[in-house]
Structure 1
Amino acid sequence: MTPEPTTGSGTRVLPLILDGGNRRLLVEWIDGHPSVEPVELADGIGETTFDVCILDKAALQKYHDTLRTKKKTTAPVLLPYLLLLPESESDVVETDAGQLADNVVTETVDELVTMPIEQAELHWRLTALLRLRDQSLTLHSNNRDLERQVDLFETAQDIANVGAWEYDTDTEEWWCSDEFRRIHGVSADTPLSQTESFQYYHPEDRPTIESAFEAAVEDGEPYDLDLRLTDAENNHRWVRTIGEPQSVDGETSSVRGIVQDITERVDRQQ
């Protein structure tokens, strides 16, 4: 489940402070900031919803494993933890399993603040952490949208019997989609280059596609051809092959195209 953004009713802060005096001070600070909403610990940290956790040494010692698990379950979205420590104790933190060195603490804690600290600095530290969290939420949402678009693109290719490809003229790297491979009868683990894909065309049509592709790369000329193809399993097809040059500063940077299986359409017309 995707975590909700921190904007809206307020930033949900879990004050996981076991020292009574420090907890009261923190709650007073939270009460003085309308944009901050205190969250009570539910049945466990895993069941508690919050945007940021402010904790002390005792809480880190007690809840270290569950805090790390909570952080891992929300990844790649950042769930920030801010650790408050007296300056004299900022070097080492102890748990039941022994002592946690600084590098282990930083795997769990995103910000370590030594006390005493001015309220203005605490607010600034929290704001910076929450900004990072919001950025991670946005990135996560964008990635999900991209994955959805890719899924829709692949579904559309399957329905329309259309395979896509792209050739980078600078690096000479070539990419093709799964549907492109299916049309050519080539498995996903079989090496396939652009020039190798030309070998599947009918011998009489092969010079046509090779010349068209060369003109697209060298002169930026698009092409749209209906040609004969025999796939790797010796199935005979008609395909529509399209190449569209892409230019940057007047120079062809890549060629993108599709190959569509039009065998049924050609058979109906004959």
Structure 2
Amino acid sequence: MNEIRVLHVDDEPDFADVTAEFLERDDDRFTVETAFSGPDGLEQLTPAVDCVISDYDMAGMNGLEFLEVVREEYPELPFILFTGKGSEEVASEALTLGATDYLQKGSVPDQYELLANRASRAVEQFRTERELERKNELLEKSQNLADVGAWEYDPETGEAYFTDQVYDIYGVDRDHDPSPESDIERFYHPEDRDTVRDAVAGALEDGEPYDIEARITAADGTEKWIRTRADPQFEDGVCQRVRGTIRDITDRKEREESIAQTTEWYRTLLDGAPDAVFVVDIESGKIRETNRAATQLLDRSREELVGLDQTKLHPPEKAEAYADLFDQHVGAGGGRAETLGQEEVYVVDSSGERIPVEINAQTVEVDGKRYNQGYFRDITARRERERELKRQRDRLDELVTVVSHDLRNLLRTLSASLDLIETDDRASLERCRRTVDRMEQLMDDLVNLARHGETEPGPVGLAPLATASARATGLSEGTLSVTTDATIVADESGLRHLFENLFVNAVEHSAASRQPEGTDAVARGPTSDQSRSADAVGHDSGVSLTVGRLDDGFYVADDGPGIPESERERVFRVGYSTSDRGTGFGLNIVKQVAEAHGWDIDVTESADGGARFEITDVEFADS
């Protein structure tokens, strides 16, 4: 752990003490030294200080004046203006004078946390750049001189000297006569010429060394980037010579441009993502990157989010539980995306409002460091739709219960009243009774249709449930053959309705096809969802049924007359029936049960020429 030494300059001792306490408590790397004026701060400022935090409105020497003096000796040292009397004008001037950052004071802990984050980030960047510069200098000194051209210019005589490498960079022969002014005009890019001329003039007139990068066009037309350095040498106030180096840095510039383009491409992709994205350092738990969707979701700026501990995204009382959830699903993962938990996860926006989110996350490794990459999707609208659908289902269930109860009472009254009627017209009475039975059947179908929208899946054996459904519908012994012992994941009640409807549909269609001429034909069509008694379907059904397994489901087949291909798309429609006994709901209920499970259902011809209903996309519990 690298210590961060901070010099805090503020003329209010109490505020300075509070700031120091917050910083040291937020990050144990901080050691804060306090000065109560600009001059006092200059006395305490040493190369050991990693960052300066200064107030603006101070007596004697204000923060900007203090900044100017600091920059004379420490031009790159991180300097944050932390002031209570801020304005855009002050901020602009501070940044112009070389301040690293600008932040207004606040009374809430979050402001001190933000200050700590910015100070830490500034120091890390400063150290990285300083280390990179040191390594570059060491690298340059250790490289073979063939990679670097050296030159010397004598302003008194106007003579210049190039090493061979300089001639090669410019692409000229060794008989080329070097001259700063003519070479600048000939080789350097028009947009860079003034920069180079000003640097040369500063070296010759004021003894200012320079280190600049510029574009050139070599004699053969090749465009290059070069880095040139100069060190003027003066005696008695007069420039005697200027010595320097020049290096072809085209490859480096191309790499930098490629990196910049990749970074921009990555940023564009990240900001174009519809979901909020958070990239978190697993070791520290700090957010290292985010996107525009995240700032919109939380109504917080990117600067506020980057550097924040990931637990601060969530309600305080849930932070630890959510962290454990991340570790459980993602922390030890190998890059595979995981959806976090089944329970609702919340984030908190800038106003404190809780927002339900669905999180998909995975672990990624970059340059040996591991990160959690989380995609947060706002599911507020989805949750509201689910609640509204539940309210609608509850209201529908209540309505169905009330209506079915009242209608049954009316039908019972009507049925009893028919028994009291004395008449010789028995055919009319039987027709009335059949009408009452059909109304009860239709009402039962409507109730079941309304209640097949939800499932409670669990392991269900196909063989025992199909056999029980056959008994419930009054099929004769031996009518049903089950050729599978598979166990599937299904709602048992819904699957029972599916079997019963398919069995009854097969029996009634087979019976209709066998009626003699002159009787009322009963063509195949959807019937009802109720478990038929022996009187309804008959023990001697005259049809054989088979329940068997498919690779991804099961089927119910019969050896009846089948369903014409032209009618197969229509049989599942609500109200469709060619039978004078059908309600038009039976096979629609079969389809509703299948869809409630997420299954597909299709009808085709069986091996015996009858109908075959195939239910696919089924999950097997024993697979």
Q: TM-score, normalised by structure 2?
A: 0.25
User: Would you tell me which structure has more strand in proportion to its own residues?
Assistant: 1
Q: TM-score, normalised by structure 1?
A: 0.49
The structure that has the greater radius of gyration is: 2
Q: Larger relative contact order (C-alpha < 8 A, sep ≥ 6)?
A: 1
